[in-house]
Structure formats: C-alpha cells, structure tokens
Amino acid sequence: MILQERVQPLIDRYWSALPGNLRGIIWMMLAALTFTGVQTATKLVGTRIDSAEITFFRCLFGGLTVLPFLIKNGPSGFHTTMPWMHIGRGVAGAAAIFCMVYSVVNMPLADATAIGFARPLFMILLAVLFLHEVVGWRRWTATAVGFAGVLIMLRPGIEVVSFAALAALLASLFFSLGHVYIKKITKVDHPMKVMAWYWVVSSIVTFVPMLFVWVTPTLEEFALLMVVGFLSGSAQTLVVYSLRVGDASLVEPFDYSRIVWALLAGVLIFGESADIWVLLGAAVVAASNIYIARRAAKRLE
C-alpha cells in the first residue's frame, strides 16, 4: 500500500507529461485490443450459446455502466421529446450487435474485423441521405475506393459470399445507422440519457428472440458473457478518452491495429489462418478511411 502511494504519483506525473496525441494513440490502441477481447470471448462462448442469446447478454451487461446516471437522476433520466428516435437507435444498435456476434462466431476473427472497417463508408452515405451533409468529389472517390476494398474481401462471383460475411457487412450498416440517430438525438438529449434509452430498448428487443434459442449457460459461459459486456463498455470508454485528448484524424487510424490483434487471437486461440485477399481489401478500406479523415481534418483547420 505504501509502495502504491509512492509510485502512483510518479506514474500520473509521467502520463500527464506525455503529449495529448500520444496519450490518445495509446488509448485507441488499448481500445482496439479490448474490442478484440470482446470478439474473442464472444467466439469462445458462441461454440454452444446462440448468437441471439449472446446479443441479449451483451446489451444487458454492457448497459450496466449507465446505472450511476439512472440512480442519480431517477425517472427523469428517461425524459425526452424524441422517444421514437431513441427506439430507432436502440433497434438499430441491437441489430448491429446481433449481426456482429453472428459474424464473429461463424467466420475467422480477422475476416469479421476487416469487413467491419466498412462502417465509416456507410456513415458517409447515410450522412448524405439523412443528415443532409455535403460531400465533395474527393470523398466520394475515396468512398468508392473503400467499397472496392470491401468487394476485394468478399469477392462476389469468385467466392460464395457467406451469411457470416453478409452479417459483418450488415453490422457496419446498422452501426452507422445508429450513429446517425445519435447525431440527431444528442442535439437535444444528454449522451448518458441516450445510453440509458439504448440499454433498455436493446435489452427489450433482444429478450424475445433470446427466449426461442435459450440454452442455460454454465458458470464458465456466464462468466464469459459478463466479460463480453464489461469489455464492450470498457472499450467504448477507452475510445472516448482517446478522442478527448487526441486529434481524431490522428488517433482514429490506430483503431486499425485491431486487425493485428484479431489475426493473433485467431491464429493462437482458434487455429485460424490469414486470408491474403481479406488483408489486401482491409488495407484498401483503411487507406480510404484515413484519407477521408485527413480531408475532414483539413476542412476544420
């Protein structure tokens, strides 16, 4: 205890002395590692537990982080003038998690992770359609290149596109749709209120499908389900810390380190092999997303 009291201030002082962008990069890489932990635990428990049941527990345990907010605010924590927007966001988020869980359970971790990199590309399309954002020809070109990278990964016509691969792509679409809802809702409601609504709606939406495939988890499986929810909430928190102290255009590309962790986990834990076409497509998608982020940062300078 005495040693901790002496060492902790030194660690805090050293950490605070680091440049904000460097701290942001470290937080983002830790978030990428944590997200891989979520997927690894999901794949382990998915050998016997159905994806719908895993989705329910991830929503349930992942949302427990808003309990302090609800305890403090009581019923007023749910007061809103946009209930249908919150419900839409909850449904989209629940669908995204189910699709992601299904893809992780039924395909190599690296493949599911790489296809998930399409999320920013869908976000641009939805932002134009629903947020009326203006996108120039450079961003449209970069977006088209990014989707070409997705096609390299999926190789339709050459390879039979699996349901798991389509689920990974749908997960990106639903996550992006959820972000559109968040963009609209947070203009009126506090972010914690958004999280509280999401916790309740997603848990309710996933509860009924879970009943049809229910398998009583063993103690080990229940522990893994708790780990999935806890790590999911932790990863989101790490991303918030990263974006708070670092420039988004600089720290966000380090989220692509997730593919490295996914490859390692896939090879070492599940005996999977790397697909060169998936890695090539992921590199194309990552490059297009980084270019788009850089362009956005320059417009804000």
Q: Is residue 252 part of a domain?
A: yes
Q: Is residue 23 part of a domain?
A: no
> What string of pLDDT tens digits covers the 301 residues of the chain?
454 455 556 555 665 666 667 777 888 889 889 989 999 999 999 989 999 999 999 888 877 777 777 778 878 878 888 889 989 989 998 999 999 999 999 989 888 988 888 887 887 888 778 777 777 778 788 888 888 888 888 876 555 568 888 999 999 899 888 878 888 887 888 777 888 888 889 999 999 999 999 999 999 999 999 998 888 878 877 876 776 677 655 676 778 888 888 888 988 999 988 788 888 888 888 888 777 777 665 654 5
Q: Is residue 112 part of a domain?
A: yes
**Rg of the chain on CA atoms, in Å:** 20
Q: Report pLDDT digits (tens) over 46-80.
A: 989 999 999 999 888 877 777 777 778 878 878 88
Contact call for residues 237 and 28 (beta carbons, < 8 A): no
Beta bridge pairs of residue 156: 159
Q: Is residue 238 part of a domain?
A: yes
E strand spans, 81-150: none
- What total of structural domains would you count in the chain? 1
Q: Is residue 9 part of a domain?
A: no
* Tokens encoding 51: 């994806």
Q: Is residue 274 part of a domain?
A: yes
The pTM is what?
A: 0.83
Q: Is residue 19 part of a domain?
A: no
Q: Which domain holds residue 186?
A: 30-300
Rounded Cα–Cα distance for residues 202 and 103 (Å): 19
- For residue 271, give Cα distances in angstroms to 101, 260, 267: 19, 15, 5
Looking at residue 140, its pLDDT comes to: 80
Residue type, 37: G
- For residue 253, give Cα distances in angstroms to 126, 159, 184, 241, 291: 21, 29, 25, 15, 10
Contacts of 47 (CB under 8 A, 6+ apart): none
Torsion on CA atoms 165, 255, 177, 128, rounded to nearest 10: -110
Angle between helices 51-62 and 20-45 (to 10 degrees): 140
Contact call for residues 214 and 95 (beta carbons, < 8 A): no
Looking at residue 137, its pLDDT comes to: 75
